[in-house]
Amino acid sequence: MANLEYPKVRRAGRWFDVRRRKLGMWAYALNRITGIGLVVYLYLHLAVLSLLLRGPRSWDSFVSLARAPYFLALDVILLAGILIHGLNGLRVTLTGFDVGVKAQKALFGALMLVAVVALGVAALMIFGG
Amino acid sequence: MSAPRVIVIGAGSTGAATAHDLALRGLRVTVIERGEVASGTTGRNHCLLHSGGRYCITDQESAIECIDENMNLRKIMPDLLELNDGLFVAVTEADLAFKEQFLEGCAACHIPARNIPVKHALEMEPFLNPRTLAAVQVPDGVFEPFRFCLAFLATARLHGAVVRRYNVVSEIVCSGKSVTGVKVKDYRTGKIETLGADLVVNASGPWAGDIAEMAGVKVPVQPTAGVMVTLDCRLNNMVLNRLNKPSDGDIVVPQRATCTIGTTSWKVEDPDLITIPPEHVAKMIDQGEQLLPVVRKIPMRARMAVARPLIVKNAADERNVSRTFECFDHAYDGIDGFVTISGGKTTTARAMAQHVSDMVCNKLGIAAECRTREVPLASYRLFYQGGQR
Amino acid sequence: MTLLDVTLQIFRYKPGEQPHYDTFTVQVEDTAHVIDAIDKVWAEHDHTLTFRRACHHSSCGSCALRINGVEKLPCIARFSEVWDGHSPLRLDPLRNFPIVSDLVVDVSGFFQRMSASTMTITRDAESTLPLSVDDLAAVVQPKAVELPDNLTRFNRFENCIECGICMSACPTMAVDNKFMGPAGLAAIYRACQKTDDPNEKAHLLALANGEHGVWRCHSAFECTEACPQAVDPAGKIMALRREITANRFKKTRRS
């Protein structure tokens, strides 16, 4: 019997499809997105720091940019990424070694609540101060 | 001179066991199945590894076949069975009156049957009807029909058999009064092919009549449907049978984490278009309640219906038709190279295969002994090995 | 008994052709399961529609597919549960399996993993009844069971029916061709639990600890959510990790 050829299936992007998936899958996708976001941020951050090499004038011009409201908003988004990734990361670490597996959904809920509260407080501080 | 080629139509329990037997005898076997393995009658059966108790009065031939094959299957497929025995339970005075006959019938058919104190029966089966009047223990078991077939076919494949699923027989090719092969259409690719054979075995269950017609012969197979209801809970560890003559809904077969109440019986014209009558479903719950009163509280998980291939030689009540099997050598109908094996039950598939394989080898002049009693079956997981077929 | 007119949008694929969806309308009872409708489509409309099924009661695992994108067993999926009453019901084959034709997928790789796990499909039964994989069904109080005089234990089939639903739901299966998968790893866990042989156990844990074993899991937990048989593969993967890690600690402490 001749070999059947199977249709090409796009594989790498599959993890991204969270439609109709449950909470754990959303957490997983969120972790990946924030992770990628943080890596991208890390490179941006290093690029920005390298401005220091060009002396006080380029650094000062950057700092004035960094005080603009839209930039502060980006800072809040960055913080959101850090909180989500970090706190969910705690959950992944715990469950990954068989601690709290049965409560993984509740754990996600609780930790994200902490993230939201912390983010709220931080946003107030960032925009207030 | 190379071994003769045999085509087996049908990959239910009959076809699977036949392919296994013939392959072990060195023949070159091709199985043609229009769907998935066990997608016909076998898949939707009650999964009961019969002790034969059910037939020990009304159909002793069947009963003896069952107990022999039951014991043999335990040797060749030990890992594919739930072996918790079964109980025949009397819940009415009429049932109780049946007990003596039943015990005599079991003895006559060498079925090991033990009268159990009711108190002990209720301890073994805490959800059994507390009004139970008597209980007799028999060596019933439970199997899983899909893997049952896969195991036979996997072993057959290891001995050279080829299994073509999603291939339908569209024509039986004859040369004069001799069958020389089959024309098949592969539903997966649309390709039509003619496969030559020295002999064709019709093991297509309730479709045996349709297949036989393609060769211009008739077989007395009456597709007879039955309904079964599976519940969301396993309420019993042992098979529970009603201690009386066979009737609708008189068995509750546990399996995994469910139990299935069955069955009913009515003639159908087309085994492919069976509607499940709601009154049959209701009857299963009513009858099941007699053995396990709590049945009504449990949600239904599934309902299934499929046609059994009953051999009806004359116009008799389906319930009383023998559940034994029969081989038809169509040479007696004027067509050579074509046999039908029909009737029977999955519990006796190996014995059915032995009979038809003996017939096949006789017709082809092959002197090969049947080894299927002794040869343990290969792992069912090996069936899909080596890519799709 | 009410009759429903259901429209099914079924994935079709034959080798050499473009995959597409065919739409069929069939009439079924309101108490019917999705498998009954697929059966009717085959019988009344198109014999070339290929699909897998056998037992119709969630024991064989062969009929698994996706209903509106979510993995389910159509033999126990009632229309009242999965259908909104008017939109077409979309049927797709499982993800992460090569597609043979229409709804039929190639399960040879899957069964190779299950073979490698060496898990047998029977196990000791629990000492109480009833047993259920569905919490909703536990409406009766559990009761202890006594054994018959001639048996040393009751046995039953494992919860896992090897349906492949978890493999389809798992995001790691989507990107790693050789991943043992939730079913394979859960089976290794069960096999470990059932063996007394320390060598066998060590072999199984090494398999789980391997390059495509437990460490590839990224805790999506989708396998446990999707499993129709309450196998909890994610829990078993985490339990295997714990055991592997504990063994490592024991070894380093001893040396």
Indicate whether A38 belongs to any domain.
yes
| pLDDT of B386 | 81
Domain C3-105 maps to which CATH number in 3.40.1160.10, 3.30.830.10, 1.10.10.10, 3.10.20.30? Answer: 3.10.20.30
Nearest residue of A to residue B163, measured between CA atoms: A1
| pLDDT of B317 | 53
CB C185 within 8 A of CB C84: no
B237, B256, B272 member nearest C145 (Cβ): B237
CATH of the domain at B357: 3.50.50.60
Suggest the residue from A91, A98, A105 to mutate for an interface test with chain C (most C CBs closer than 10 A).
A98
Q: Are residues B29 and B167 in the same domain?
A: yes
| pLDDT of A86 | 96
Residue A39 belongs to domain spanning: 23-128
Number of structural domains found in chain B: 2
Q: Are residues B273 and B349 in the same domain?
A: no
Q: Are residues B69 and B133 in the same domain?
A: yes
Q: If you average pLDDT over every residue of chain B, what do you get?
A: 95
| pLDDT of B70 | 98
| pLDDT of B93 | 97
| pLDDT of A62 | 84
Q: Do C242 and A97 touch (CB under 8 A)?
A: yes
Q: Are residues B233 and B193 in the same domain?
A: no
B1 pLDDT more than 70: no
The residue that leads in pLDDT, B248 or B1, is: B248
Q: Hey, what CATH topology would domain C108-121+158-254 get?
A: Fumarate Reductase Iron-sulfur Protein; Chain B, domain 2 (1.10.1060)
Q: Are residues B75 and B138 in the same domain?
A: yes
Report the Cα C40 to chain-centroid distance in Å.
24
Indicate whether B316 belongs to any domain.
no
B314 pLDDT more than 80: no
Indicate whether A40 belongs to any domain.
yes
| pLDDT of B315 | 57
Q: Which chain B positions have a beta carbon within 8 Å of A1's beta carbon?
A: 162, 164, 389
CATH of the domain at B124: 3.30.9.10
Q: Do C47 and B187 touch (CB under 8 A)?
A: yes
A48 pLDDT more than 90: no
Q: Do C155 and B84 touch (CB under 8 A)?
A: yes
Q: pTM for the whole thing?
A: 0.94
B389 pLDDT more than 60: no
Q: Could you tell me the pLDDT band of residue B322, with boundaries at 50, 70 and 90?
A: low
The full set of domain ranges for chain C reads 3-105, 108-121+158-254, 126-156
Q: Nearest CA to B37 among B262, B346, B328, B251?
A: B346
B217-251: pLDDT as tens digits: 999 999 999 999 999 999 999 999 999 999 999 99
Q: Do B188 and A3 touch (CB under 8 A)?
A: no
Q: Give the minimum alpha-carbon distance from A116 to chain C in angstroms, rounded to a whole number.
A: 22
* Residue that is last in its domain, among B271, B290, B311: B311
A65-92: pLDDT as tens digits: 888 888 889 999 999 999 999 999 999 9
Residue C254 has which token pair?
């001893």
Helix (H, G, I), strand (E, B) or coil at C90: strand
Q: ipTM higher than 0.90? A: yes
B2 pLDDT more than 90: no
Indicate whether B307 belongs to any domain.
yes
pLDDT above 90 as % of chain B: 94
Indicate whether A17 belongs to any domain.
no
| pLDDT of A2 | 38
Nearest residue of A to residue B188, measured between CA atoms: A4
* Residue that is last in its domain, among B262, B280, B311: B311
Suggest the residue from A23, A94, A97, A107 to mutate for an interface test with chain C (most C CBs closer than 10 A).
A97
Q: Give the minimum alpha-carbon distance from C241 to chain A in angstroms, rounded to a whole number.
A: 6
B370 pLDDT more than 80: yes
Helix (H, G, I), strand (E, B) or coil at C50: coil
Indicate whether B84 belongs to any domain.
yes
| pLDDT of C23 | 97
Residue B133 belongs to domain spanning: 48-143+222-311
Q: Are residues B135 and B230 in the same domain?
A: yes
HEC letters along chain A: CCCCCCCCCCCHHHHHCCCCCCHHHHHHHHHHHHHHHHHHHHHHHHHHHHHHHHCHHHHHHHHHHHCCHHHHHHHHHHHHHHHHHHHHHHHHHHHHCCCCHHHHHHHHHHHHHHHHHHHHHHHHHHHHC
Instruction: Check CB contact of A9 with chain B, cutoff 8 Å.
Output: no
Residue A46 has which token pair?
């290093």
Number of structural domains found in chain A: 1
Q: Could you tell me the pLDDT band of residue B47, with boundaries at 50, 70 and 90?
A: very high
Mean pLDDT of B21-36: 98
Q: Could you tell me the pLDDT band of residue A1, with boundaries at 50, 70 and 90?
A: very low
Subunits with 3+ Cβ pairs within 8 Å of B are: A, C
Q: Are residues B181 and B276 in the same domain?
A: no
The residue that leads in pLDDT, B322 or B216, is: B216
Instruction: Check CB contact of C82 with chain A, cutoff 8 Å.
Output: no
List per-residue pLDDT tens for chain C, 255 residues long.
799 999 999 999 999 899 999 999 999 999 999 999 999 999 999 999 999 999 999 999 999 999 999 999 999 999 999 999 999 999 999 999 999 999 999 999 999 999 999 999 999 999 999 999 987 666 888 999 999 999 999 999 999 999 999 999 999 998 888 999 999 999 999 999 999 999 999 999 999 999 999 999 999 999 999 999 999 999 999 999 999 999 888 877 776
| pLDDT of C96 | 93
